[in-house]
């Protein structure tokens, strides 16, 4: 009987990670940034109908980079998780932390048990109200979860964007206008060309809004914010 | 593919999702089939009493629909609650009012709210007005087993149809049958009395104030003739509630304007008695 080839676990994990990273780097970047009145989510997305950013619950939003079918599946499962919790208990019991944990568990299990890992990187964001801080969780293809402050970048050549933003951001929390301008110029670093307002997907979680705080910005809104 | 540690389901309906995966949370499945229930005299068990309602109604007017309801819940000959809320905002363009057993009614309203929000988030667009009305019909149908236990849930649904640019009213029967009303409707124990009043005074293209006045007068007349319906409680300051459903969204009619309408109505009735 022929024996299967022996592959060391280290090698196997390394191969999977490389495969997933390659898939994620193919796409374009998404930036999440805290601003004075909430959290801003900006994606370089030429499609007007296939969204990378989505509402999950009252004060929680989701952003996914990598393979569309895979992060779309994760997004839907997250909304189901949140709506079920909110229905079973109460609206205030739905938290980004619990959702991020669910994602981390799910991605981690798939990474170690399935042959093909998910080629996705996702962000779970919650705007803090009543003096609570905002929460930004970045979850990678292997289920590792990172609690980010001020801003986070996923997808595409995220390191380049990250380095650019690190230099530009100081102690001050920017206004919405300043944050949008900063995010757009950061996204323009990688293709090295101007991004049209039509090719941007921008949404905000606004602290002041009642119950559902997620709002998508229209192209007109974006143009107005970018006009100096 | 299935995601471990996260809820998996194939379609965009929250109601179907919990019906399949959390049947204990859904309506029409209370596992009461062996419990003594309903007015079953032959077994000699006393009828199970649950808080009941109601008169709720809806009237179309120029800009949309006004939907209103009284505040009383009864348990047999007892008053179970004096300030129960029977008119619910469901989403930005629809509201529903309920008649029947209070607990399951409120549960259905909450489930329907979640259902519409869930669909909107998953699909990226809200359901059409017609789609929402049909979904509610399916939920009423799912409750049919509970009707035989005496737990009736009867909604009255109103929505603003953004595509058509008009308000719409839908009534239901216990089997989930869905019927659209063209002008006005009222359901509940005092529904017939309220409908009689509306039949006499309704006019097409009412102004908002007139539609509200007629709604409150119909509730007053229903409370006059039906013990299950509460009128304005002047001592405690409890008044029926009303909402206006228009293109701009759902607006609660403030208590002060409801009180003003009733003050005028009561003064007019009192002057007839002397």
Which pLDDT score is estimated for B46? 52
- At B234, which CATH number? 3.60.20.10
Smallest CA–CA distance, residue B123 to chain A, in Å, is: 9
Residues of A in contact with B22 (CB under 8 A): 84, 88
For B230, other C-beta atoms within 10 Å of its C-beta total 28
Is the predicted pLDDT of residue B149 greater than 90, yes or no?
A: no
Cβ–Cβ gap A84/B4 under 8 Å: no
A18 in a structural domain: no
A30, A26, A51, A22: which is closest to A116 by C-alpha? A22
Q: Cα(first)–Cα(last) distance of chain A, in Å?
A: 73
Instruction: Return left, alpha or beta for A36; rule: phi > 0 is left, psi -120 to 50 is alpha, else beta.
Output: alpha
Using CB atoms, pick whichever of B3, B14, B22 lies closest to residue A77.
Answer: B3
State whether residue B17 sits within 8 Å of chain A by CB.
yes
Using CB atoms, pick whichever of B6, B8, B14 lies closest to residue A83.
Answer: B14
Those residues with Cβ within 8 angstroms of residue A215's Cβ, 6 or more apart along the chain or in another chain: A203, A204, A205, A206, A209
B219 in a structural domain: yes
**Is B246 a known active-site residue?**
no
Domain that holds residue A62: 26-226
Reported as a single tens digit per residue, the pLDDT across A178-190 is 999 999 999 998 8
User: What stretches in chain A show pLDDT beneath 70?
Assistant: 1
Reported as a single tens digit per residue, the pLDDT across B10-38 is 999 999 999 999 999 988 776 555 444 44
Quote the strand ranges of A90-185, DSSP E. 120-126, 135-139, 145-148, 151-154
Cβ–Cβ gap B3/A88 under 8 Å: no
Domain that holds residue B170: 50-268
Catalytic residue among B26, B49, B54, B175: B54
B1 in a structural domain: no
Using CB atoms, pick whichever of B1, B9, B114 lies closest to residue A87.
Answer: B114
CA atoms within 13 A on the CB side of B116: 25
- At A61, which CATH number? 3.60.20.10
Give me the number of domains chain A comprises.
1
State whether residue B249 sits within 8 Å of chain A by CB.
no
Q: How far apart are CA B166 and CA B173, in angstroms?
A: 24
Q: How far apart are CA B78 and CA A188, in angstroms?
A: 70
A20 in a structural domain: no
The 3-class secondary structure across chain B, one letter per residue, is CCCCCCCCCCCCCHHHHHHHHCHHHCCCCCCCCCCCCCCCHHHCCCCCCCCECCEEEEEEECCEEEEEECCCEEECCEEEECCCCCEEEEECCEEEEEEECHHHHHHHHHHHHHHHHHHHHHHCCCCCHHHHHHHHHHHHHHCHHHHCCCCCEEEEEEEEECCCCEEEEEEECCCCCEEEECCEEEEECCHHHHHHHHHHHCCCCCCHHHHHHHHHHHHHHHHHHCCCCCCCECCCCECCEEEEEECCEEEECCHHHHHHHHHHHHHHHHHHHC
Residue in chain B nearest A48 by alpha carbon = B124
A179, A177, A200, A176: which is closest to A188 by C-alpha? A200
Joined tokens for residue A109: 């299990």
Arithmetic mean of pLDDT, B84-90 = 95
Q: How far is CA A16 from the centre of its chain?
A: 22
Q: How confident is the model at residue B47 (pLDDT cuts 50, 70, 90)?
A: low
Cβ–Cβ gap A88/B122 under 8 Å: no
Cβ–Cβ gap B114/A55 under 8 Å: no
Give me the number of domains chain B comprises.
1
Q: What is the pTM of this model?
A: 0.92
Using CB atoms, pick whichever of B1, B111, B122 lies closest to residue A76.
Answer: B122
Instruction: Find out whether B19 and B142 touch, Cβ atoms under 8 Å.
Output: yes
At A178, give phi and psi (nearest 5°): -65, -40
Instruction: Find out whether B258 and B242 touch, Cβ atoms under 8 Å.
Output: yes
Smallest CA–CA distance, residue B106 to chain A, in Å, is: 13
DSSP of A63-115:
EEEE-HHHHHHHHHHHHHHHHHHHHHS-GGG--HHHHHHHHHHHHHHHHHHSS
Which pLDDT score is estimated for B31? 55
Q: How far apart are CA B130 and CA B140, in angstroms?
A: 15
Arithmetic mean of pLDDT, B102-118 = 95
Is the predicted pLDDT of residue B42 greater than 80, yes or no?
A: no
A7 in a structural domain: no
pLDDT-wise least confident of B38-47, B70-79, B93-102, B212-221: B38-47
Which pLDDT score is estimated for B48? 58
User: Choosing among B1, B3, B18, B116, which should be mutated to test the A contact, i.e. which has the most A CBs within 10 A?
Assistant: B3
User: Choosing among B1, B2, B6, which should be mutated to test the A contact, i.e. which has the most A CBs within 10 A?
Assistant: B6
Burial group, residue A5, by CB count within 10 angstroms (0-12, 13-18, 19+): exposed
Residue whose structure tokens are 């670093």: A189
Is pLDDT larger for residue B49 or for residue B45?
B49
Burial group, residue A49, by CB count within 10 angstroms (0-12, 13-18, 19+): exposed
């Amino acid at each position: 009987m022929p024996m299967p080839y022996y592959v060391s676990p280290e090698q196997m994990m390394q191969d999977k990670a490389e495969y997933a990273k390659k898939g994620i780097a193919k796409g374009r970047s998404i930036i999440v940034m805290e601003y004075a009145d909430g959290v801003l989510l900006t994606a370089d997305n030429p499609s007007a109908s296939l969204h990378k950013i989505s509402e999950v619950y009252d004060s929680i939003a989701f952003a996914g980079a990598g393979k569309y079918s895979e992060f779309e599946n994760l997004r839907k499962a997250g909304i189901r998780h949140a709506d079920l919790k909110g229905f079973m208990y109460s609206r205030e019991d739905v938290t980004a932390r619990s959702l991020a944990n669910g994602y981390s568990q799910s991605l981690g299990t798939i990474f170690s048990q399935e042959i093909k890992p998910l080629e996705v990187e996702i962000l779970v964001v919650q705007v803090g109200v009543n003096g609570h801080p905002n929460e930004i969780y970045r979850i990678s293809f292997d289920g590792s979860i990172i609690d980010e402050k001020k801003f986070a970048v996923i997808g595409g050549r995220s390191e380049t964007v990250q380095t650019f933003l690190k230099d530009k951001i100081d102690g001050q929390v920017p206004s919405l206008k300043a944050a949008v301008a900063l995010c757009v110029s950061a996204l323009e670093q990688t293709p090295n060309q101007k991004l049209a307002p039509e090719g941007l997907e921008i949404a905000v979680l606004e602290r002041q809004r009642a119950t559902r705080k997620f709002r998508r910005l229209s192209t007109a809104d974006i143009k107005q914010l970018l006009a100096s | 593919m299935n995601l471990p540690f996260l809820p998996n389901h194939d379609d965009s309906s929250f109601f179907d999702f919990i019906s399949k995966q959390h049947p204990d949370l859904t309506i029409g499945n209370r596992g009461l089939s062996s419990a003594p229930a309903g007015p079953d005299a032959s077994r000699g068990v006393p009828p199970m009493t649950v808080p009941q309602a109601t008169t709720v109604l809806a009237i179309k007017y120029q800009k949309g629909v006004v939907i209103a309801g009284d505040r009383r819940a009864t348990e047999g000959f007892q008053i179970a609650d004096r300030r129960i809320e029977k008119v619910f905002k469901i989403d930005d363009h629809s509201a529903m009012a309920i008649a029947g057993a209070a607990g399951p009614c409120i549960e259905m309203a909450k489930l329907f709210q979640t259902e519409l929000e869930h669909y909107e988030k998953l699909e990226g667009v809200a359901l059409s007005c017609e789609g929402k009305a049909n979904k509610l019909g399916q939920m009423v149908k799912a409750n049919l087993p509970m009707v035989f236990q005496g737990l009736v849930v009867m909604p009255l649904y109103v929505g603003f149809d953004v595509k058509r640019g008009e308000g719409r009213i839908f009534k239901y029967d216990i089997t989930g049958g869905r019927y659209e009303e063209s002008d006005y409707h009222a359901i509940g124990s005092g529904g017939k009395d309220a409908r009689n009043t509306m039949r006499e005074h309704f006019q097409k293209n009412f102004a908002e104030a007139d539609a509200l006045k007629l709604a409150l007068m119909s509730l007053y007349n229903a409370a006059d003739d039906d013990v299950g319906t509460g009128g304005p409680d002047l001592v405690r300051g409890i008044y029926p509630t009303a909402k206006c459903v228009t293109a701009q969204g759902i607006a609660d009619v403030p208590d002060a304007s409801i009180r003003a309408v009733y003050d005028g109505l009561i003064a007019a009735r009192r002057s007839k008695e002397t």
